[in-house]
Structure 1
Amino acid sequence: MKINKLNSIILLGLIAIIGILIAQLLWTKEAFTLEQKKLSQKTHIALLEVTKKLYEGTNHELPAQNPVQKIANDYYIVNVDNDFEPDILEFYLKNEFKKMNITTDFEYAMYNCQSDEMIYGNYISLSQNNRVKQSVYFPKHKNLVYYFAVRFPNETSYLFSSMRFWFVLSLALIFILLIYVYSIFTLLQQKKYSELQRDFINNMTHEFKTPLSSILIASKYLIAQNPIKEDKKLLTYTDIIIKQSNKLNHHIEKILNVAKSDYTTLELKPESVLVIPILEETIDNIVLKYPEAKIKIDTLSNDYTIETDVFHFSNLVYNLLDNAVKYCEEQPEITITLKEEKTTLKIAFIDNGIGINNKKISSIFDKFYRIQNSKSNEVAGFGLGLYYVKNICELQNWKIYALNNVEKGVTIHLSIPYKK
């Protein structure tokens, strides 16, 4: 499968988010290690201070070697070559841990040389949750006479609690990654369905155009025959067949153009053109289709020039006039006004049609949208004309909007950048 631009962007985005997540997890692990070392250093300092306190007022000197030994991550022993009381030891431990801001629970035990065993001291809860004494095993250590051991049973949870921000950030990144993957999955599913829809529309319209072309060729040949010309009913029926076939062909072309514009940007070929001649030519085509329509141009100048694609601009004007005629319950009267405002050319298409509900008027440029009323139900269409018009305007940075007239009808306003 060929990797297109969209797939490349999706892949790069996924790699970037996974990379950030991995980096975050590595930073979190490193932060945990640093917190562990920090707690160990503070514990060493606190236990050294406790040792100094125990030696105060005695004739013994502090040992030359470091009396504090770390046996495990949560277990320390302190060699005190001096006899001491349990209550005094507990008092010093509480004070020094508090000074070093060590707020996790701990428990301690002392070696009894007479019984040759470790005697459990107490469980100290700094979180104010009193705990009953427990029988926890503290191993003995050889070559030591007076020493005590300290253990932090909740060290891991204590370290985790001090790193809440890191874990919240990691969870947020994981959540973002999951949302990204879900969004990409949804996008690819919609893309797949859109491609299926496009293929269906293309195949459907192609299958319609083939028999339709045969009907048009046969109908045009049929209407040229003398027996048909001499019979008014047959002539009328044949003429209806030709007109309706042309109408259906026009709708099929419109569907194809809109379907194409949804997936590939329309290629415009802008050039400097006079507006009035294009309007007059389009009006002539509309009057041929609707002889009863009265369309006039109200302008102060015939020399207005704009940069646009002639073909698409003609189609834009044709669609607006065609809609104005179709949605009129009486003789259509349409006025096209042109006026210059600073650097903008304002073109307004004013009709005397049935009007639009003010709540729905903002939706008339949506694809497949049609006003539901008795008149519109009589007119064949797919709601693609004004959608096409809006696309052409957006491609050229034009502004278009619709407003109901005071009495009746609708006015479509076009704002086009204009330079003299």
Structure 2
Amino acid sequence: MNKRAIGAIIILMSAALLGIAVIQWFWIKRAVDLNEENFEGRVLTALSRIKDNLLSDENLFENLDILKPGINNPFADSGDGFLQRKRLREAKEISLLLNTESAFDKTLKDRLDKHVKQQFIEQGINLKYDYGVYSKENEGFIILNGNYTVVPSGIIEASDLGSSLEQSLYDSRYEIPLFKIDETLKLYFPTKNSLLWADVLPQMISSIIFTSLVLFCFIYTLSVIFRQKKISEITNDFINNMTHEFKTPIATISLAADSINSPVIIKEEGKIRKFIGIIKQENKRMLNQVEKVLQMALLEKDDFELKFTGVHMNEVVSLASQNAELQVAHRDGQISIDLNASPDLIEGDITHISNIINNLLDNANKYSPESPEIRVSTENAKQGVEVRIQDKGLGMSKDAIKHIFDKFYRVHTGNRHDIKGFGLGLSYVKAMVNAHNGTIKVESEPGKGSEFTLFFPYRQ
């Protein structure tokens, strides 16, 4: 998949995710707005009924005040018995109202508090609230939550509830004028938003969960695409390298075979032996490359057996270093060896342990631009032996270190194209170290070289 197709997929999926998120937010916000409209309707209904009830109380008091003089003297200005008896009956009926006067003979704050609680119960408003009566004449609240904040004549109780509450009430849109033009009843609900959002909380949580799942799948899909793209690039690189690795020995064998068939060469036994030696060497080289690929295939399937025996790491490191020294010396380099581990006996497969050291020494040589300087050492560690292989070569970036043990991965070397290989060496090293219950660590900086530290447990 090319970069343009991947870019198009990212744009389309991002747009789809953004569209889903916006639509879901619109639905949730619409549900909250509907809840708020419903809540506001109930609050306004409660305010209207509170005002009506307070007006009814005031009208009743006014009627009682008008009737009191006549009730106190029911026979006044009566000229005959019939009129007296009629007024007597009216006086008895009105006296029933006077008996209830004590129930209504409460201050405004008490009646207001009673009506607020009653109407909230009737309207199903089960929410923390604050209320107050604002007076334009006093330029402030004269009642807050059932308490006077100023002292009217004849009333001795008062309360100061603070400017924060007063400001919240003053800014509230839930209000209604009372008896006087300059007095307004105001309501404030500090937890209103929590109530409005609580109803849509299940939908919001489910929306977030499903959107997150889609987002996770989107990210995972992208990671798979990029991983497959990287694998494809690595595989193509492997095929190109493999073709090059096989092409050279095949061409050499072909030239050697043609030379043997030459009438001039066929008569000289020494030259024939020389060309036969070249053919065998190149054939062995190809077999080694094929063996590496087959080994990695077996490692992938875990289809291999290790022949564990006692292995002396100092001997293995010494022999591998001697074999690599010829190639290093050919490039005017050197290998220094410090064999300090004692005891050095571990349990492992001698063939694979040797291959591990050979691969690391080969890499140290290949990735040193000129005059390689390689240091190999063994040391005792807790419950095992450590082998360190250091070079002063090209080094690696932190990103490269993360991938060097991946199959077919090869460190980029800029404009250098003379470093051969399939990218299987370190993958094989990592797999074999794990199979021996060991560990491998890498430290490297670009331009300063690399250090590989191997650990193998002692033989039990």
- Provide TM-score, normalisation by structure 1: 0.47
Larger radius of gyration: 2
